[in-house]
Amino acid sequence: MGELYYGEGLKKPLANGVDFLVKRLESKPTVTKVTRLDYHILEVERTGTFSNLNIYLIDAYVLGEGAALEIIENNPKINTILVISLWNQYASKAKELAKDYGVAIFTFNELMGAVFYNGESYINYLPSAKDE
């Protein structure tokens, strides 16, 4: 696979950012409950036929494919990685690599739209230009 780009500025998410995220998720009509399983992982229960989400939270200036792969390998039950800070991002190669493992990578704003989707539509979700 060669050398992987890990990213820049990887750190634990701030508690106030996680609290804000939980409140925003709980306000969505497709979400019934949000539980913090540990410092980095949220379980999001969704309504009806929507599958539940296990979200790994990371505060990364840029999330690279190396860090994404390490997160996925060390947390086999997750199906989402969230780059939690509003000004942070991920490398496109990280998003593509994660898809190969059935894991979505989103920014905060992307996740707010993705919670209305399921399956491949969820993993491949990208907001329309008017949503950004």
pLDDT tens-digit readout, 97-120: 999 999 999 999 999 999 999 999
Both tokens of residue 66?
């190396």
Given a contact cutoff of 8 angstroms between Cβ atoms, the answer to whether 96 and 77 are in contact is: no
Listed residue (93, 107, 111, 124) closest to 44, CA to CA: 111
Tell me the pTM: 0.91
Q: Using CA atoms, how far apart are residues 119 and 20, in angstroms rounded to an integer?
A: 25
Listed residue (93, 87, 106) closest to 6, CA to CA: 93
Greater confidence (7 vs 75) lies with: 75
Is pLDDT of 2 > 60? no
Q: Using CA atoms, how far apart are residues 7 and 95, in angstroms rounded to an integer?
A: 13
φ/ψ (deg, to 5) at 42: -110, 140
Q: Using CA atoms, how far apart are residues 30 and 125, in angstroms rounded to an integer?
A: 16
The sheet carrying 7-8 orders its strands as: 7-8, 62-63, 89-90
